[in-house]
Every structure is written in structure tokens, then in C-alpha cells.
Amino acid sequence: MTDNTSIKKQESQMTQPERTRDRWSYMPNVDIIEMEDELLVVADMPGVKADDIDVRYEHDLLTIHGRVEPRQDESTTNYVLCEYGVGDYYRSFQIGEGIDPDKIHAELRNGVLDLHLPKTQAYKPRKILVKAD
């Protein structure tokens, strides 16, 4: 069901400015599923609260940013072993035409973000009625 809707991963290139932060940033694993009426983006973002997620859709660029606060105070914690990395989640995609930005909505459940990108009427598949003589 791949019609005119296209999605491109935003790859890191030298021509783009690098993002700078005072903490780690992770790329969440994402599934993008095309359905008849919408694109569904499913992103794994464990540890993120709904209030700490920023989703933006501007000029066909979808950006997902989730802020995660450290679980421990690094200056006072005496780790015996420290393997769990804490940091923000950041991911962006170039989305083709055909998304209705006014109807985008999202839910967060158990660390999984479901982001619904409804297609505009012009990009929804339609059935053509065939008449017989």
C-alpha cells in the first residue's frame, strides 16, 4: 500500500549542524506502519514521561524528542557496576506530503510512544466504482 507517501530517515551528514547537549542522546527504535488512513509511528522510549516528550511536525520534518532525568545523583552515588545509560531520545524523519498536521495525535503507554499521522483526503486510497452498460 505504498502510494505517494514517502518517509526518509534523517541521516547524519556533515552538511547539517551537530546537536550539542550536556548529556547523552539515544536514537529510539522505531516502527513506521502505513495504514489506509494514517501512518503509525511506534517508538520505544523507556523512562520518558508524557510531559517530557516533544513531538514537532514542521515543513514535512517529524521530530521526536524525549527527555529522561537521571535516576541517581551522579555526584553522590557510589556505583559498584554502572551499565544503564541515561539520556534523552531524539529521532527525526523527513515525511512526504499527504499528512494532515492538524490531526496528528500521540499516546504513551509503558514507555512506548504511538504517534498517529493521519493522511489528507487527497492521499487516502479510494475505490473507483465501475459501472456496467
Q: Is residue 14 part of a domain?
A: no
Residue 5 to residue 75: CA distance in whole angstroms: 48
The type of residue at 108 is: L
Is 7 among the domain residues?
A: no
Residues whose CB is less than 8 angstroms from the CB of residue 63 and which lie 6 or more positions away in sequence, other chains included: 54, 55, 56, 57, 90, 91, 92
Residue 8: what pLDDT?
58
Q: pLDDT tens across 68-123, in order?
A: 888 788 788 888 888 877 889 999 999 877 899 999 999 999 999 999 999 988 77
Share of the chain above pLDDT 90, in %: 49
Instruction: Give the per-residue pLDDT at 81.
Output: 87
Three-class SS state of 44? strand
User: pTM of the full predicted structure?
Assistant: 0.73
Q: Which domain does 73 fall in, by range?
A: 22-120
Q: Does residue 4 fall inside a structural domain?
A: no
In a domain, 73, yes or no: yes
Indicate whether 114 belongs to any domain.
yes
More confident residue, 27 or 10: 27
Query: What CATH number has the domain bearing residue 106?
Result: 2.60.40.790
Would 129 be classed as within a structural domain? no
Give residue-wise pLDDT tens across range 79-94: 888 887 788 999 999 9
**108 Cβ contact list (under 8 Å, min separation 6):** 45, 48, 49, 50, 53, 114
Residue 40 has pLDDT above 50, yes or no: yes
Specify the residue for cell string 505517494: 4
In a domain, 127, yes or no: no
The answer to whether residue 13 is domain-embedded is no
The total domain count for the chain is 1
